[in-house]
Amino acid sequence: MIIYNFNTLRDAILFLITDEQASFDYYHKLSKKSVNIHIKTVWEQLANDELRHKATLIELLNNTEFIASVYNEKDNIESIPFIEIDTTAGKIKQIFQTACNLEIASYNHYINVAKQTPHPQIEQLFLSIANEELEHKAMLELELQSL
């Protein structure tokens, strides 16, 4: 996992907004291509959740009370490992595996930003979003098992 170092909370939030937009774009594109109604619904749900996360982050940017805060340095960066993409599996399975890794990356980013912010209420918000990313991963893994 690549660990990004940010000077301020604003820098981290801007990165996370870009990350959420990229996830939305990926899921939205998949939903438009899906012919299976169930799978289309899965992609749409994920896309909507990523947009909601992005909106929350944008709202946070408007709070100038803490936005310029400098991070606390933390050496014990936490992350969960990515799943290996099975190149022998069918394309749809590879797409779901890639989506799982997007959720893992988002989780890792949120958990590490949470650990570095000096504001307990913002830390809790980031931990909450990180947990939603893990729920997304679990949902994708269930779908993957059914393929």
DSSP annotation of 118 reads S
Q: Please, what are the domains in the chain?
A: 9-146 (1.20.1260.10)
The low-confidence residues of the chain, meaning pLDDT below 50, are 1
**SS3 category, 88:** coil
What is the predicted pLDDT for the residue at 133? 96
CB 132 within 8 A of CB 50: no
- 108-140 per-position pLDDT tens digit: 989 988 888 878 888 999 999 999 999 999 999
Which of 13, 4, 23 lies closest to 59 in space, CA to CA? 13
pTM comes to 0.85
